[in-house]
């Protein structure tokens, strides 16, 4: 049987992208200024709105400059030799996963330019199958490739307990790479994600997550656009300061002590007396932040399956928002005030609160109480900003997609903006209000996304392979 050719991608850096982003932001500034001047709000309200928009655009402009400052970390020949001596263990928890996605992900580990030293698959009590065929194939292939591997089946205890079983099976590891059961790594993902660890202060590294099934339907297109843009704007800006707040589950690397030394608290986290079973990636990132720097490596790419149905997306997003609320409380409590991460986290909540207040005032208070309808120019401001940030999406060159196809998705940004301002905003605040509901909520009845066809690459990129919008924030 011929194995599928690996998916690959790279993030292209271009001064034209930065120039275009600044131009679109400037157009948004003009539109906001025109709206304030044209509206009959009265001098006092107009002055307040002008001040709000000035602050907003200063934050946006500074963020734009910061995320363009991010560069892929490189390693000298000496550093590479040192990285090659590290024992890299991959932790791969599995629960009710589609066999096709699981096999695709395992195959991608075999095709790495820097293979892992060990891979530890833990079936967390799946109820829809035992993966016997995939397991037999993987154990044979891993042995031939010289990769030490274990495959355990444990009673269902959640993702954290499955990862802990993998940690227990690899006490010699120097670096743990966490992946999901539907993660398909680009051929040089492991090699690239290790490079920032050449600097002793770096404790964790986030990879860039793209969608395997991004062209399935409108939902997956918009989600891929929104999610990729968030990583390459919000998280890239934090990475430039060594203060990434949340690594992505499909691909992240941690120095082994970050995981091992905190394993007890990781497995036994509670909130309001209830065990917390989600937001595991953000908790591991918090542990890393307390020890040093956390960065993103834009040249380390992984592909994952996005929700293809609205109900699946809703459950996933609610889990994220509830976890984000809990994690925000821990950051307030434990992050040092002298670190950039604390203030970046605080600024994020300020942006969310400010944009929500302005939206409520313009669309509810002014029309109902004062009879003032927002000027049409205000409506284009979020779209211009969304398109400006999403230019980073166009900078991702994929082996399975042509640029014109990505441009079509980029044009859909207004739909993502409308969703962020409406549905996702309501879900964010509802998730914060119901954060005590700590159940996982997805894949309880089996895989919700299946791999029916193997992605067909067109052209292999060169060797430098490679949440949340700053405004509007959901």
* Among 44-48, 100-104, 228-232, 320-324, the least confident range: 44-48
Would you place residue 348 in the very low, low, confident or very high pLDDT band (cuts 50, 70, 90)? confident
Three-class SS of 47-116: HHHHHHHHHHHHHHHHHHHHHCCCCCCCCCHHHHHHHHCCCEEEEEEECCCCHHHHHHHHHHHHCCCCCC
pTM: 0.87
DSSP run (H or E) holding 255: strand 252-255
- Interval 432-466: pLDDT, tens: 899 888 766 555 555 667 776 444 444 333 333 33
Measured from the Cβ of residue 132, the count of other Cβ atoms closer than 10 Å reads: 9
- For residue 243, the domain's CATH number is 3.90.550.10
Site of tokens 């002298």: 338
DSSP state of 388: H
Looking at residue 330, its pLDDT comes to: 93
Tokens of 183: 């993660």
Give the pLDDT confidence of 91-147 residue by residue, as tens digits: 999 999 999 999 999 999 999 999 999 999 999 999 988 899 999 999 999 999 999
Residue 257: give the domain boundaries. Answer: 1-474
pLDDT tens per residue, range 381-418: 888 888 988 889 998 999 889 888 999 999 999 999 99
Query: Tokens for 274?
Result: 């209830």
Q: Which two tokens stand for residue 17?
A: 């992208």
pLDDT, residue 185, reads 97
Q: What percentage of the chain has pLDDT greater than the value 70?
A: 89
Contact 229, 389 (CB under 8 A): yes
Dist CA 447 CA 48 (whole Å): 50
The answer for residues whose C-beta is within 8 angstroms of residue 329's C-beta and 6 or more apart is none
Find where tokens 């040249």 sit. 299
* Structural domains counted in the chain: 1
Is-contact 33 383, C-beta < 8 A? no
Which region holds residue 287: left if phi is over 0, alpha if psi is between -120 and 50, else beta? alpha
Query: Torsion angle, CA of 283/289/292/294, rounded to 10 degrees?
Result: 90
């Amino acid at each position: 049987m011929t194995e599928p050719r690996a998916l690959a991608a790279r993030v292209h850096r271009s001064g034209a992208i930065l120039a275009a982003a600044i131009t679109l932001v400037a157009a948004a500034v003009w539109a906001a200024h025109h709206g304030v001047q044209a509206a009959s709000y009265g001098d006092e309200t107009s002055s307040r709105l002008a001040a709000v928009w000035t602050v907003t655009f200063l934050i946006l402009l500074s963020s734009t400059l910061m995320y363009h400052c991010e560069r892929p970390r490189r390693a000298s020949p000496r550093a590479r030799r040192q990285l090659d001596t590290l024992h890299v263990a991959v932790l791969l928890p599995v629960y009710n996963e589609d066999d096709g996605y699981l096999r695709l992900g395992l195959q991608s580990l075999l095709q790495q330019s820097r293979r892992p030293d060990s891979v530890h698959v833990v079936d967390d009590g799946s109820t829809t199958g035992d993966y016997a065929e995939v397991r037999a194939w993987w154990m044979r292939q891993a042995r031939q490739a010289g990769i030490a591997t274990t495959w355990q089946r444990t009673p269902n205890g959640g993702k954290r307990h499955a990862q802990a079983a993998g940690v227990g099976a690899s006490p010699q590891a120097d670096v743990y790479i966490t992946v999901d059961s539907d993660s398909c790594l680009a051929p040089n993902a492991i090699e690239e994600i290790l490079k920032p660890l050449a600097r002793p202060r770096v404790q964790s590294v986030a990879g860039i997550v793209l969608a395997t099934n991004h062209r399935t339907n409108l939902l997956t297109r918009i989600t891929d656009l929104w999610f990729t843009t968030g990583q390459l704007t919000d998280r890239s800006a934090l990475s430039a300061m060594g203060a990434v707040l949340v690594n992505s589950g499909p691909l992240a690397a941690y120095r082994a002590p970050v995981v091992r030394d905190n394993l007890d608290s990781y497995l036994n986290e509670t909130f309001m007396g209830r065990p917390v079973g989600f937001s595991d990636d953000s908790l591991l990132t918090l542990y890393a932040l307390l020890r040093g720097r956390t960065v993103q490596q834009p040249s380390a790419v992984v592909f994952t399956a996005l929700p293809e149905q609205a109900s699946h997306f809703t459950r996933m997003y609610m889990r994220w928002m509830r976890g984000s609320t809990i994690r925000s409380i821990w950051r307030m409590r434990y992050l040092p005030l002298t670190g950039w991460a604390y203030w970046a986290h605080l600024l994020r909540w300020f942006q969310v609160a400010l944009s929500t207040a302005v939206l409520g005032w313009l669309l509810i208070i002014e029309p109902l109480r004062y009879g003032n309808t927002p000027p049409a120019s205000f409506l284009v401001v979020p779209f211009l900003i969304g398109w400006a940030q999403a230019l980073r999406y166009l900078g991702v060159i994929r082996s399975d997609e042509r640029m014109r196809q990505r441009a079509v998705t980029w044009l859909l940004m207004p739909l993502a903006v409308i969703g962020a301002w409406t549905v996702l905003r309501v879900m964010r605040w509802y998730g914060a209000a119901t954060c005590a509901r700590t159940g996982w909520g997805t894949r309880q009845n089996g895989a919700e996304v299946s791999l029916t066809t193997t992605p067909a690459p067109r052209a292999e990129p060169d060797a430098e392979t490679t949440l949340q919008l700053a405004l509007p924030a959901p």
